[in-house]
Amino acid sequence: MYNIKLGWEIILKELACPKATQDLELNTKNRDAAVKAEHIQYGPLNLEDEDYWERYAKRWNTTADVAKQSNCSNCIAFDISPRMDKCMPLTTDEDGRLGYCWMHHFKCHSARTCYTWAKGGPIDDDKTSKENQMRGEQ
Ligand code: SF4
């Protein structure tokens, strides 16, 4: 059964921004690791890189056009909650926006993706954002 007291405790809890949103070196290290790792392959660097989308589509046995629709913007790990917005250096560009990736711990872009994409996002409320952070700190 849902614990109401615990729910309020999470809503009222003050949490610092995730380290990587404030530390450029750490963010870059985590992002580069996600780009390089065989099982993650964060990208593409250039959104028009069709080779990348073809490779990504192959993983899911689908076409590049369909695969492009499963990106950070709708991934379960993509955090664009109001509290996370305050941790971000900039929020939008012509292709999308930045959010925090709770799976790989860096500021990722909504129009990119990775091999560990999972349905169910984005995270757009502070309570779920805090729950993700607290889970990681346990
Ligand atoms: S938000 Fe999802 S798709 Fe984007 S890098 Fe993180 S795990 Fe991968």
What confidence tens digit (pLDDT) does each residue in 1-46 have?
A: 556 766 777 677 788 999 999 999 999 999 999 999 999 999 999 9
Helix-helix angle 126-137:4-12, to 10 degrees: 90
**Is-contact 68 53, C-beta < 8 A?**
yes
Out of 32, 41, 113, mutate this one to test ligand 1's pocket (max ligand atoms within 8 Å of CB): namely: 113
Q: How far is the CA of 80 from the centre of ligand 1 (A)?
A: 12
Helix (H, G, I), strand (E, B) or coil at 58: helix
Range of the structural domain that residue 30 is part of: 4-137
Number of domains composing the chain? 1
pTM comes to 0.91
Quote the pLDDT of residue 1.
Answer: 54
Tell me which residue of 91, 69, 89, 71 sits closest to 80, measured CA to CA. Answer: 91
Can you tell me the mean pLDDT for 39-56?
Answer: 97
Does ligand 1 have an atom closer than 6 angstroms to the CB of 104? yes
Can you tell me the distance from the alpha carbon of 50 to that of 78, in angstroms, rounded to the nearest whole number?
Answer: 23
Over residues 56-94, the pLDDT tens digits come to: 999 999 999 999 999 999 999 999 999 999 999 876 788
Nearest CA to ligand 1 atom 6: 101
Q: What angle do CA 86, 92, 95 make, to 5 degrees?
A: 150
Can you tell me the distance from the alpha carbon of 31 to that of 128, in angstroms, rounded to the nearest whole number?
Answer: 23
Does ligand 1 have an atom closer than 6 angstroms to the CB of 108? yes
Q: How far is the CA of 41 from the centre of ligand 1 (A)?
A: 10
Can you tell me the mean pLDDT for 108-112?
Answer: 97
Nearest CA to ligand 1 atom 8: 114
Q: How far is the CA of 109 from the centre of ligand 1 (A)?
A: 9
Quote the pLDDT of residue 138.
Answer: 57
- With 0-12 / 13-18 / 19 or more C-beta atoms within 10 angstroms meaning exposed / middle / buried, residue 88 is middle
Q: How far is the CA of 106 from the centre of ligand 1 (A)?
A: 9
Cis amide bond preceding 122, omega within 30 = yes
Helix (H, G, I), strand (E, B) or coil at 44: coil
Q: How far is the CA of 61 from the centre of ligand 1 (A)?
A: 19
Q: Which residues pair with 123 in a beta bridge?
A: 79
